[in-house]
Amino acid sequence: MGERLIMVTGGARSGKSRWAEKMAADLSQGRTVLYIATCIPRDEEMKQRVRRHQQGRPPDWITVEEEFDPAEKVKNPARGTGVILLDCLTMWISNLLLREYREDREESFYYEKLIPAVEELAVAANAAPCPVICVTNEVGCGIVPDNHLSRIYRDLAGWSNQVLARYASEVYLVCAGMAVDVKRLAAAYGWNPLPPGAENRRL
């Protein structure tokens, strides 16, 4: 059984990636950090963003790009890996959704296809030989999207975050660069963030 799965969530430019990277550096204790990047840059703006992220990480970290199956990388880290950092869950969900999306498909198809993949990733993280930190986004905190695909994505991201939180030993919400241990707060109130099977419901 692995050491722990740590979830770090927040909004855009909340500081969540910086928080997760600091945690990864601290937990690695000088060993290798495996950075799993789910964003595959497809235009110049995204390429520049990726370069800035890469320049901000220690040069001895190992970066692998995985668009569709990060669980496989989590299951098979290089020997001596001290921490696995996956950034980010919501980009991965976007990749899967765009690969599967068809206008004539029922919404339930995407939940049945993608939520088990999230559970597979969470199970793999809990079985990993080192801590796994997974960064995600709170994409549903703004206005309701004006198109069907975006609404499916928003809902899938929300359900996926709840699934991941159920498996995680620690869940941090980052806002304005500062983090709160929300799973500890939930436990203090006896709250289960998502009972098993609840993710099969549709909003």
How does pLDDT run along the chain (203 residues), one tens digit per residue?
Answer: 456 999 999 999 999 999 999 999 999 998 999 999 998 777 778 777 767 776 678 889 999 999 999 999 999 999 999 999 999 999 999 999 999 999 999 999 999 999 999 999 999 999 999 999 999 999 988 888 989 999 999 999 999 999 999 999 999 999 999 999 999 998 888 876 665 555 554 44
Domain range list for the chain: 5-200
- pLDDT score, position 158: 95
CA–CA separation, 47 and 62 (whole Å): 18
Cis peptide before 88 (omega within 30 of 0): yes
Stated pTM of the model: 0.89
> What's the pLDDT score for residue 3?
65
CATH number of 5-200: 3.40.50.300
How many alpha carbons lie under 13 Å from residue 124 in its C-beta half-sphere? 19
Phi, psi of 58 (to 5 degrees): -55, 140
pLDDT of 102? 94
Instruction: Give the pLDDT score at 123.
Output: 96
Residue of 53, 57, 113, 151 marked catalytic: 53
Q: What is the pLDDT of residue 58?
A: 85
Report the phi/psi class of residue 128: left, alpha or beta, with left for phi > 0 and alpha for psi in -120 to 50: beta
Q: Which residues of 169-179 are buried (b: 16+ CB within 10 A; e: fewer)?
A: ebbbbbeeeeb
Annotation says 148 is catalytic: no
Around Cβ 90, how many Cβ atoms within 10 Å? 23
pLDDT of the residue at 46:
73
- pLDDT reported for residue 1: 44
DSSP state letters, 80-125:
TEEEEEEE-HHHHHHHHHHHH--TTS-HHHHHHHHHHHHHHHHHHH
Distances 66 to 17, 44, 79, 145 between C-alpha atoms, Å: 17, 19, 19, 27
Question: How far is CA 64 from each of CA 37, 72, 92, rounded to the nearest angstrom?
Answer: 6, 12, 14
Q: Report pLDDT for 125.
A: 97
